Amino acid sequence: MLLVYSDLFRRKSLLVMFVAWPYLTTAFMLIFGYAVGSPRVFIERVGVDPIQFMIVGSYLLFSIMTVVDDIMWRPIYDEQLGTLPYIVSSPTKLVIHYLSMPIPRFIASVVLGATAVFPVMIIFRGLEGLLIGAIVVLLSLISAAVFTPLATAVGLSLYTFGGENWRAINVIRPLLLIIMGVYYPRWLMQWPLYIVSSLMPPAHCIEVIQRIIAGLAETYTVLISLVLAISLGVLYGSPMARSATAWERKKLEVGVKT
């Protein structure tokens, strides 16, 4: 636990950004959103003002990205800092270490990001907004948790087998997030995209949130989505473990960079 606290401490300069970021992206997405399509079209098709979608989308995107970023970048970061050999040669297991790294930052982003979600939801929904806000926060936790195995597996496999191409992570990362459909109602996606996005655990959480906001939530669809999300998350656990072993093995073969 001490490890986690000291990590949070290192990032104290980033805390300011946590507070500002959701507001910034929301503002940006609003402007961007209005530019792309008229809000009236959106309302006609979905039945809800796009602002709600945007703010929740930004929030989800941000909290998931915090975790994914941390996990995907951390090994590279440690390699460049020269801290990797000391981490590899510690008794703590590598996967466990990298999975625990984003926790403090994630908590910070969830808490601080919520400051953007709650006011907006309360303005639009009144007291009900409070409940929706709480659900959104909860689901963002689940989203991040179930996305982690997949993100780790993809990231580490790329580092292991991609050679010099590991920088492709820059492309893959936003792609993963877009495919999940944070900004657009998932049930209105084209079917090929819908299937691909269904393979991503957090997509189902996102759908739940979107349905709740659009007032289309039914107990059984919500349950099915959640079960899907969690089982997919668990399913990706084994590729994650395998990619971590392969990555460590590769490092030992070419020598951990100092």
Ligand X SMILES: Nc1ncnc2c1ncn2[C@@H]1O[C@H](COP(=O)(O)OP(=O)(O)O)[C@@H](O)[C@H]1O
Give the residue, chosen from 28, 113, 255, 256, that forms a contact with ligand X under the rule CB under 6 A.
255
Nearer Cβ to other proteins (101/117): 101
Nearer Cβ to ligand X (80/92): 80
Nearer Cβ to ligand X (18/159): 159
Q: How far apart are the first and last CA of the chain?
A: 27
Cα–Cα nearest to 146, from 213, 233, 60: 233
**Rounded Cα–Cα distance for residues 120 and 30 (Å):** 13
Residues 6+ apart with CB under 8 A from 46: 53, 185, 188, 214
Please give the residues from 215 up to 254 whose contact with ligand X meets the rule CB under 6 A: 254
- Select from other proteins, ligand X, none the partner in contact with residue 126, using the beta carbon and a kind-dependent cut-off of 5 to 8 Å: none
Buried b or exposed e, range 188-209, using 16+ CB within 10 angstroms = ebeeeebeebbebbbbbbbbbb
Provide φ and ψ at 218, rounded to 5°: -125, 150
Q: How far is the CB of 77 from ligand X (least distance, A)?
A: 19
Three-state SS at 253: helix
163 is a site residue for ligand X (CB under 6 A) = no
Residues that bind other proteins (CB under 8 A): 2-3, 6-7, 9-11, 13, 81-83, 85-92, 97, 163, 251-256, 258
Nearer Cβ to other proteins (45/93): 93
- Select from ligand X, other proteins, none the partner in contact with residue 191, using the beta carbon and a kind-dependent cut-off of 5 to 8 Å: none
Binding site for ligand X (CB under 6 A): 254-255
